[in-house]
A and B are shown apart, each in its own frame.
Chain A
Amino acid sequence: MTVLAGNHPGLKRLAFTGVAVALAVLPFLVDATLGRTWVRIVDVALLYVMLALGLNIVVGFAGLLDLGYIAFFAVGAYSYALLASPQFDIHASFLVLLPLGAFLAAVFGVLLGAPTLRLRGDYLAIVTLGFGEIIRIFLNNLNRPVNITNGPLGITLIDPISLGGISLSKTYALGPLTFSPVHSYYYVFLLCALASIVISVRLEDSRIGRAWIAIREDEQAAKAMGINTRDVKLLAFAMGATFGGVAGGLFASFQGFISPESFTLLDSIMVLCMVVLGGMGNVGGVVLGAALLTALPEALRYVGPLQQAWFGQVLVDPSDLRMLMFGLALVLMMLFRPAGLWPSKIRKRELATAAE
């Protein structure tokens, strides 16, 4: 990765080892300093890294604006939840369910992509928004006449990830360290997030990645150069959705409970904002965006007690304040730094020329 700058091989190795060690001890460090809740937040951040990287393939690489991305997350989550809970009394292994969720999400990605291939930009954004809402409405209502999704109540008691005799929902002691579920899940999520990063980076420089970027830059020209734009676009939708599907399955097992409320348009927008805020098309930027947008709003929770201390009462509900800041941040970000915090080189150039 270009992130680890420096041409000296020894230096590079040192930096790599440093990052690896830091990631390995991170949950215990966080646990000791900020508390257990924050370990959980780190876990969620890793899920969002996966989601944002998936959406980055669709929006950042291929330039297809998707406002319904959370639907794929929902597909993954619900396929996991339905087949690993008392809902139908099926308790399949995650080894089957994660790939299945990924596959189903990819199928949905193609189903969404196929009819909308002709559309671009705003129109595509609106169609994907429509698809996302349709899926959410169905999840919300498929409890009658046959109860499939349990409607607005959601699905509870979802099986945690377990293999052999080891279940991630239990606490294990290993020498001086205690691994509570949030710690164990951290390592699983970290592995998946790292895999997503590697896949993203490798994809970007692959033939397909270059084809995506070509389509993003100028579809007509890409077509003229012999790129099969239809297949390549569908592949972008499918690959992006796959990331979402896996993340969804992990989310369901981690939470143990899901309901349609977790898959609203706002969540789609949130993931899109992570991609845009960090720097569209740039893997490092997207990871940064996901981490920041998960952590910063959580930090605002402390505002509640702070208000209590200063004014004697809570004037602004912290969760409302969080949304206010989020909206404001979107507007200010677009006005002052539309390329994101860490833009990709191409994107930066593009914006520079667009602004003239």
Chain B
Amino acid sequence: MDVFLQQLVNGLILGSIYAIVALGYTMVYGIIGLINFAHGDIVMVGALVAWTVCTALAGSAVPAPLILLAAAGAAMVVCMTLGVSIERVAYRPLRRAPRLAPLITAIGMSILLQYSAALIWSKQYLALPAILQPTMYTVAGATVTDLQVFIFLLACALMAALAWFIKRTRIGKAMRATEQNRDVAGLMGIDVNRIIAFTFLVGSGLAAIAGLMVILYYGIGHYFMGFMLGLKAFTAAVLGGIGKVNGAMLGGMLLGVVEALASGYIGDLTGGWLGSNYRDVFAFLVLVLVLVLRPSGLIGGPVSERA
């Protein structure tokens, strides 16, 4: 029982990070039908910018919450600029091209971001100085830190805010209209380019926060950290139903919990044959199974076939 609760807690934290990243994938896919492979690497950039700010301010008299705020601010500015510029330079010219072209461009962007980061931050593992001393609580046999609670609550707040924003505001409505039919939305007087740029802006801002969460949670950054995280978050988006914002939230949480439980139990279930070193397999198994059995995801109607 202890294992179950503990893994559930870990899974929910992991899941809330996945969900935040998955939102970026799903919004971009929904609006321009592109798997933005570079999104995971934008999270990485956010994490490393946050690391830089934290490291620079760690020894000073600045109080911890202010450091975090500064880190979040810097990460958001950098990531948002990056996301919008990438869309403008690399994706916009290819909007009407056959689907393979933007996909390969996105892969190219991902590689470009990774190795630019390797140049700026080196290829070392970057350890975050101890800014926070998380307090541990024991709840029904499971250990929870206040940092974990903070990450979870922040993720929930962001998701709620985003859901409200898309449902209620003018620009949110314009986003949904553009998603439905870009051409008609344009005819109705929506500036489609602005809406798409805005989508990238929001997605990249969320990615920056996710990057901060990751670096705070694991305490270690690396130029390649966005890759696996991105793939898993994408899996989460697919699991929920790609293009659906609430799907990404559900998918993220679910994938986090599945992964945590599976890596916690796989040793016992297989009698020690398979260990937790297989944890990365679960995300991909989920991905393959969902796509093969129910390509539209858990929520979301039938999708039109995309060539």
Q: Which residues of A contact B (CB under 8 A)?
A: 65, 115-116, 118-123, 125-127, 129-131, 133-134, 137-138, 141, 144-145, 219, 266, 269, 272-273, 276, 280, 316, 320, 323-324, 326-331, 333-335, 338, 350-351, 354-356
Contacts and interface: CB of A to CB of B under 8 A. Distances in A.
Q: Is the interface of A mostly helix, strand, loop or mixed?
A: helix
Contacts of B103: 65, 122, 125
List the 8 shortest-distance A-B pairs measured between CB atoms, nearest first.
Answer: A330-B108, A327-B111, A327-B112, A331-B108, A130-B284, A334-B105, A323-B115, A130-B287
B284 A334 contact: no
B135 interface: no
Contact of B104 (A276, A328, A354): A276
A144 B275 contact: yes
A327 B110 contact: yes
Contact of A326 (B98, B101, B111): B111
Contacts of B287: 126-127, 130
B96 to A, nearest CB: 7
B299 interface: no
Given A134-B288, A141-B274, 16 more contacts: A122-B99, A122-B306, A127-B287, A131-B284, A133-B231, A133-B284, A137-B281, A137-B284, A141-B275, A323-B111, A323-B114, A330-B104, A333-B108, A338-B94, A338-B98, A350-B98
B119 A334 contact: no
A304 to B, nearest CB: 15
B284 to A, nearest CB: 4
Contact of A334 (B104, B111, B118, B231): B104
Interface in B105-137: 105, 107-116, 118-119, 123
Contact of A119 (B235, B278, B284, B295): B295
Nearest to B102: A334
Contacts of A129: 231
A256 to B, nearest CB: 27
Of B99, B292, B295, which is in contact with the most chain A CB atoms at under 10 Å from its CB?
A: B292
A134 B281 contact: yes
Nearest to B278: A141
Contacts of A273: 104
B153 interface: no
B90 A335 contact: yes
Interface of B: 33, 35, 90, 93-94, 96-105, 107-116, 118-119, 123, 231, 234-235, 238, 272-275, 277-278, 280-281, 284-285, 287-288, 291-292, 295, 305-307
Given A276-B100, A320-B115, A350-B98, A327 B108 contact: yes
A161 to B, nearest CB: 34
B89 to A, nearest CB: 8
A126 B292 contact: no
A126 B113 CA distance: 21
B306 A121 contact: yes
Contacts of A126: 35, 234, 238, 287, 291
A119 B101 contact: no
A126 B288 CA distance: 8
Nearest to A315: B119
Contacts of A320: 115, 118-119, 123
22 contacts: A65-B100, A116-B291, A119-B292, A120-B305, A121-B307, A125-B35, A126-B234, A126-B287, A126-B291, A127-B291, A130-B235, A137-B281, A141-B275, A316-B119, A320-B115, A320-B118, A327-B115, A328-B112, A329-B108, A331-B105, A335-B94, A355-B96
B105 A335 contact: yes
Contacts of A125: 35, 103
Nearest to A129: B231
A145 B272 contact: yes
B280 A137 contact: yes
B97 A338 contact: yes
A330 B288 contact: no
Nearest to B285: A134
A254 B113 CA distance: 33
A211 B120 CA distance: 49
